[in-house]
Structure 1
């Protein structure tokens, strides 16, 4: 019988909380320490994380020296998908606030995604993605956000700015002309659709299965920057 085996715990900077990495049979699971026992992510169900990168990266792959940003390394599946669908001259910048998550992706956890952190096109920045956005005007052809559980599924209040009008405006400024913003969410959210439109994006809401073609579905917003 499979059981959860705690492998490591790592603090979340400036938060007071911590993330826990568990082994569960042949899979790995990340949970928040002291939470309700729910999983933030696991290595068995990552279909929507793959799609988060595949859809926008296919759109920008033909651009010369394409450069994209991923907010949140997680278990590395979004990074792996981005690398798969981009050319040899591309750069994938990953902003990950928790150093322990980066370390886990250099170990057995990272092997599940094919060790994308070791790809020469990968640049890991141990920083809040909000700061990266603000420091790189027109720095990216695409931005993929997989931070917390999405706009309305937040477990950390500090993440709320990213999905606010101000955060979306910062995404717009960080994108190059006709850039693509992709946002992952555990559920749909009509109010977020309105914020995207007001921030100058043409948004399409896509439903993607977490695993295979049945069961839980997640939401991905694919948003095209209309001006600038």
Structure 2
């Protein structure tokens, strides 16, 4: 979710004050058209310049399921929509749930500039958008999924808001495990690898813990942390 280059020539498209602070949609010119960025409380989250690591988050989780028939997936964070669009492009997913706590981001996809990325995926009958906080959802929901693909921070060591830190704690990882079916996959996006988080996953009882690097245009690899709930 780090920017691909130093910001220049930005235009603010929309700015909202919500229950979690300020969220801003910005626009800048890129070599292939307009690039949109999401900023939360002054922290850059993601932009539409690349998207390969957000797509890989879904692909890596699906591959780790090793051919499980008709799997379901929960995507944590709608963001700019790359992960949702990738999920909808895979016909094997039987159910695609997306948790997004910012109403502004949902609206930017439903009727704003980000619709160009997510329009087809939002129209897919498998897709449901849950307007709620991801931490609350993993703790309090009753639904289970075959994969959890989480991308709400710049990584386990760099959270957007303080409350998100619970997600990567022993309590939060135990809640994630409860949302997974036996043998289900937890995939967590990060701007950099975290050996401490890998250890936390193992201590929480996950197996097959590994970190996959994804090379992106700016040259500094993003990563996906992967772990499996034992069957």
Judge same fold: TM > 0.5, yes or no. Answer: yes
Partner of 1:39: 44
Residues 96, 127 of structure 1: 8 Å contact kept: yes
State which of 180, 187, 211 in structure 2 corresponds to 1:182: 187
| TM superposition shift of 1:86 | 4.0
Instruction: Point out where structure 1 has 5 or more consecutive residues left out of the alignment.
Output: none
1:168 counterpart SS class: helix
In 2 relative to 1, CA 115–9 (structure 1 residues): closer, same or farther, beyond 3 Å?
Answer: farther
If the length of structure 2 is used for normalisation, what is the TM-score?
Answer: 0.87
> How do 1:96-135 residues align onto structure 2 when only pairs under 5 Å count?
96-106=100-110, 107-113=112-118, 115-135=120-140
Partner of 1:24: 28
2:105 counterpart SS class: helix
Q: Distance in 1 between matches of 2:169 and 2:67?
A: 31
Aligned-pair Cα RMSD in Å: 1.9
Q: Distance in 1 between matches of 2:131 and 2:119?
A: 21
Residues 19, 32 of structure 1: 8 Å contact kept: yes
| TM superposition shift of 1:58 | 3.4
Partner of 2:210: 204
2:114 counterpart SS class: helix
Q: Distance in 1 between matches of 2:64 and 2:160?
A: 31
Does residue 1:78 correspond to 2:83, yes or no? yes
Q: Distance in 2 between matches of 1:146 and 1:158?
A: 15
State which of 4, 12, 34 in structure 2 corresponds to 1:6: 12
Number of equivalences: 218
If the length of structure 1 is used for normalisation, what is the TM-score?
Answer: 0.88
Partner of 1:193: 198
In 2 relative to 1, CA 105–85 (structure 1 residues): closer, same or farther, beyond 3 Å?
Answer: same
Instruction: Point out where structure 2 has 5 or more consecutive residues left out of the alignment.
Output: 1-7
